[in-house]
Amino acid sequence: MVTDMSNSRNFELNCPLPISEYDRVLLAHGGGGTLSRKLIQEMFFSQFGNDFLLTEHDSAMLPAGKGRVAFSTDSYVVQPIFFPGGNIGDLAVNGTVNDLAMAGAIPKFLSVGFIIEEGLLMEDLWQIILSMQQAAERAGVQIVTGDTKVVDKGKGDKIFINTSGIGWIPVDVNIAPQNCREGDVILVNGHIAEHGVTIMSAREGLEFETTLESDTAALNGLVAEILAVSKNVHVLRDPTRGGLASALNEIASAASLGIEIEEEAIPIAEQVKGACEILGLDPLYIANEGKLLAFVSAADGPDVLEAMRSHPLGTNSAVIGRVIKEHPGTVIMKTSIGSGRIVDMISGEQLPRIC
Amino acid sequence: MVTDMSNSRNFELNCPLPISEYDRVLLAHGGGGTLSRKLIQEMFFSQFGNDFLLTEHDSAMLPAGKGRVAFSTDSYVVQPIFFPGGNIGDLAVNGTVNDLAMAGAIPKFLSVGFIIEEGLLMEDLWQIILSMQQAAERAGVQIVTGDTKVVDKGKGDKIFINTSGIGWIPVDVNIAPQNCREGDVILVNGHIAEHGVTIMSAREGLEFETTLESDTAALNGLVAEILAVSKNVHVLRDPTRGGLASALNEIASAASLGIEIEEEAIPIAEQVKGACEILGLDPLYIANEGKLLAFVSAADGPDVLEAMRSHPLGTNSAVIGRVIKEHPGTVIMKTSIGSGRIVDMISGEQLPRIC
C-alpha cells in the first residue's frame, strides 16, 4: 500500500517488470536462480547501474585512492520502513556516508545487503531502491556491490538493509575521538532529536500541529566546507542512536577529558520539544540522522560556525559547549537556571529500532 | 542450548562477563547505551580487538594498499545457525573472504553487522564470535569495524550477519567472468554440494551413516597457490547459492561462450550423492562454501591442477570441463552414457536460507 506519508515515495511510480509478474517478494527471489537474477537486473541494476556493479563479479574492483582508506558498516532495521522525511533506503545510504565523513573521509563507494521478508510488496522495494539511488547521487557515492537474501514470512520484518562504505581520507586530515583537546569548542549543525521523535510519532500514530520530519541527510558536503576553513578540526561525530548525550559521553571517555554543554545553546525546534514532552522522552538521548558534532580549536570556532551556517544543512548551527580538563570522562550540562547536571549515558534503550 | 552438533562450538566454553549478567540478548543491547557498550567491549572487542577496531571511530581508518581495491558484501541468514562443520559466524567470514579472493584480491579487512533477535542466547552469540575470530585468523584478515542491531522477538530469526570486505588486487592480476576464453579448462577444488546437503540434512533431522559436514573454508590461500603457478587464470568463482550449475551459467552468459562439462569428472562424495537421492536434490544446484571454479588456459591446466592438489583444500581437485565457442551462454553436460544434457539455471529456490 502506498501512502503519502513520505515525500520520498512520490517521485516515481512506474515500476519495471518484476512487479508486473509478482506483486510481492517470494523466497525464490533470494534463491540464486533466474528469479534472483531478474530481481537484481531489472530492479537493482536499472537504478544503481554503474561499470563497477555491472561487472557482476563476486567483488567490485575499484580504483585505488590517495591517503588512508575509511571503511564503515551499518545495518538498518528502522520501523516503520517509510516515515515522514525519508525511508529505510535513503536512511541507509545517508547513515553510512555520514560514518565515513565523520572520519574526515571523502565517501566514494557503498555496498548494499538486503534481507527481505517474504511477502514484502514489490512496490515498496522499488520505492526504497529509488530513494537509495537518489540519496547516493546527492551524496556523490556509487553503489558498487550488493547481496539479496529472502527469509520466510515471520522470520524478518519487511526489510533490513546493511550498507558498508569506503572513502579516502586525505593525507592532511586526522580526525578521531582521541584527538579531542582541552579548550576545543563543540558545534552542532542544527536542531536535534528530529529523526527519533518523527519515528516514535509515526509508530504511535501521533499527529502534531506542525509537521515533524526526519533530518536524514548526507553530511559529507558540510564536512568538506568545515575542513576547508579549519585545519584544527579534531573530532567529528554524528549523534545517531543514543543521541547527543551518548555521542558526547563516548568522546569524553575516549579522550579522558571533561565536556561542558549549555542547555540554552542546544538548538531544538519547538514542536520537537513539545512532542518529547508528550512522549516522555529526553531530546538529548534521541537519535539524529542529519546532525554532526564538530570539536574544533577555540580560535577556529567562529570561522567554522560561519562556514556551517552558510551550508543548507547548517543554517541553525550553534556552539553548544567546550572541552575542559576537569571531571574527565564526564559530560556536564549547565541548565537554564544555572545549575550543573551530569548527562550520563543511558543504560538501555529509549527507542528501539530507530535506525 | 549448546549441542555437540558442530565441532566449532567446542573450543572455548568460558564466556566473559555479559553472560553472567544476562543469559539472553535484550533489546537494550542494541540501544546505543551502556548495555550496548558492554556487549561490544566485552564480547566483540575481547575477541576481534585490533588497533583499527579499538579506535572506536565511526569508520575504521586503514592503510592504503597497492593496486585496485576489491570490495564485497554478503548477508548470512542460514538456518540452523549451528550445523556440522561450522556455524553462521565462520560461514560469514569465509564467504566474504572468498568473494574477495575470487577477484584475485588479497583479502585484508572485514566489517561485521549483526542483526540479533531479542532473546538469542548470549552463549550462542559468544560461540559465533569465537568462530568468527578463529576464521578471521585462519584467513589472515582483521575485523575492523562493526554494528549491532537488536530487533524484537518474532521480527528476526536468532541472528543474521552481514560481512563486507576489502582486499587489494595485485597490479598484474586481472580476473573477471568476462575474461573467460575459448579453450579454457575448468577446474574445481574438490567434492561438490557438501554445504547445502549438510544444511538440509540438519534441518530435516536426517542422519546418515557417514558424517556429512559443510565444506565452509577460506579459499584465499588456495587462490594464492593458483596465481603463483599461472599468469593465465581468467576467471575464479565460488559456486555458492545455486551451486555449480548457476555459477557456470552466469559465466557462460557473461562471456558469451559455451561451457561443456563431463558428469563423470565432477568430484562428489558417495554419501552426498546418497543424501541427494533421499532428499530429491540435484547436486549440481546445491550450495558449496569452500569450493572454487578456476578457468585457466589449457596450457596451464596441468600446473594449476597440480598446485591445487598440493593444497589441503584441493586434494580432490579435478578438471571438469572446458570453454567452447559453440552454443554461447549455454552449459552442456556430457553424461556417463554419452548423451548431452543442457544444464540450465533453476528459476527459483531449491534450498532456502542455505547461507
Distance from CA of A238 to the nearest CA of B (A): 8
Supply the pLDDT for residue A91: 98
Pick from A43, A193, A63: which is nearest to A122 by CA? A43
> Which helix or strand (DSSP H or E) is residue B158 part of?
none
Q: Which residues of chain A neighbour B21 with C-beta distances below 8 Å?
A: none
CA B99 to chain centre: 8
Supply the pLDDT for residue B10: 39
Mutate to test the interface with A, among B41, B55, B59 (most CBs of A within 10 A): B59
pLDDT digits (tens, 9 = 90+) for B275-295: 999 888 999 999 999 999 999
pLDDT digits (tens, 9 = 90+) for B51-91: 888 888 888 888 888 789 999 999 999 999 999 999 999 99
Mutate to test the interface with B, among A52, A62, A71, A284 (most CBs of B within 10 A): A71
Segments in chain A below pLDDT 50? 1-13, 17-18
pLDDT digits (tens, 9 = 90+) for B108-121: 999 999 999 999 99
Mutate to test the interface with A, among B25, B55, B58 (most CBs of A within 10 A): B58
Supply the pLDDT for residue A209: 56
Alpha-carbon gap, residue B238 to B107, rounded angstroms: 15
| B335 in contact with A, Cβ within 8 Å | no
Supply the pLDDT for residue A38: 86
DSSP character for A10? Answer: S
Supply the pLDDT for residue B210: 64
Nearest 10 degrees: CA dihedral of B100, B106, B107, B109?
-130
The three-state secondary structure class of A59 is coil
A176·B55 Cβ contact <8 A: yes
DSSP character for A5? Answer: S
B61·A67 Cβ contact <8 A: no
Grid coordinates representing B287 are: 550450495
Alpha-carbon gap, residue B78 to B160, rounded angstroms: 8
Q: At what angle do helices B220-229 and B301-309 cross, to 10 degrees?
A: 140
Mutate to test the interface with A, among B158, B162, B344 (most CBs of A within 10 A): B162
Supply the pLDDT for residue B348: 63
- Answer whether A135's CB lies under 8 Å from A90's CB: yes
> Which amino acid type is present at position A190?
G
| A59 in contact with B, Cβ within 8 Å | yes
| A91 in contact with B, Cβ within 8 Å | no
CB-side neighbour CA atoms (13 Å) of B203:
16
| B34 in contact with A, Cβ within 8 Å | yes
| A48 in contact with B, Cβ within 8 Å | no
- Could you tell me the sign of the dihedral formed by the alpha carbons of B306, B312, B317, B322, in that order? negative
| pTM score | 0.93
Alpha-carbon gap, residue B348 to B355, rounded angstroms: 16
- Answer whether B34's CB lies under 8 Å from B112's CB: no
Q: Which residues of chain A neighbour B149 with C-beta distances below 8 Å?
A: 75-77, 160, 353
B75·A347 Cβ contact <8 A: no
Domains and CATH numbers, chain B: 7-169 (3.30.1330.10), 177-342 (3.90.650.10)
Q: What values do phi and psi take at B245, rounded to 5?
A: -60, -45
Supply the pLDDT for residue A1: 30
Supply the pLDDT for residue A6: 41
A114·B75 Cβ contact <8 A: yes
Pick from A221, A212, A65, A246: which is nearest to A137 by CA? A221
> Number of H helices and number of E strands within chain B?
11, 14
B64·A60 Cβ contact <8 A: no
> Which amino acid type is present at position A107?
P
Alpha-carbon gap, residue A89 to A135, rounded angstroms: 8
Pick from B216, B164, B187, B136: which is nearest to B308 by CA? B187
Neighbours of B154 (CB within 10 A): 12
CA B68 to chain centre: 22
Of A65, A238, A242, which has the smallest distance from its Cβ to B58's Cβ? A238
B116, β-bridge pairs: B150, B159
Segments in chain B below pLDDT 70? 1-20, 207-210, 348-350
Distance from CA of B26 to the nearest CA of A (A): 9
ipTM above threshold 0.95: no
Q: Using CB atoms and an 8 Å cut-off, which of residues 161-190 of chain B contact chain A?
A: 162, 164-167, 169, 176-178
Q: Which residues of chain B neighbour A55 with C-beta distances below 8 Å?
A: 176-178
Distance from CA of A230 to the nearest CA of B (A): 21
Pick from A105, A222, A106: which is nearest to A175 by CA? A105
| A105 in contact with B, Cβ within 8 Å | yes
A106, β-bridge pairs: A168
Q: Which residue has the cell 579487512?
A: B109
Count contacts between A and B (CB, < 8 Å): 285
Grid coordinates representing B191 are: 567434492
Of B62, B151, B240, which has the smallest distance from its Cβ to A71's Cβ? B62
Quickly list H helices, chain B.
17-21, 34-39, 46-48, 51-54, 88-101, 122-139, 194-204, 220-229, 243-255, 270-279, 301-309
Of A35, A237, A348, which has the smallest distance from its Cβ to B58's Cβ? A237
Pick from B25, B38, B19: which is nearest to B151 by CA? B25
Supply the pLDDT for residue A285: 94
Pick from B174, B188, B162: which is nearest to B104 by CA? B174
Three state DSSP letters for B306-335: HHHHCCHHHCCCEEEEEEECCCCCCEEEEC
C-alpha radius of gyration, chain B, whole number: 21
Distance from CA of B129 to the nearest CA of A (A): 17
Three state DSSP letters for B124-147: HHHHHHHHHHHHHHHHCCEEEEEE
Supply the pLDDT for residue B142: 95
DSSP character for B352? Answer: T
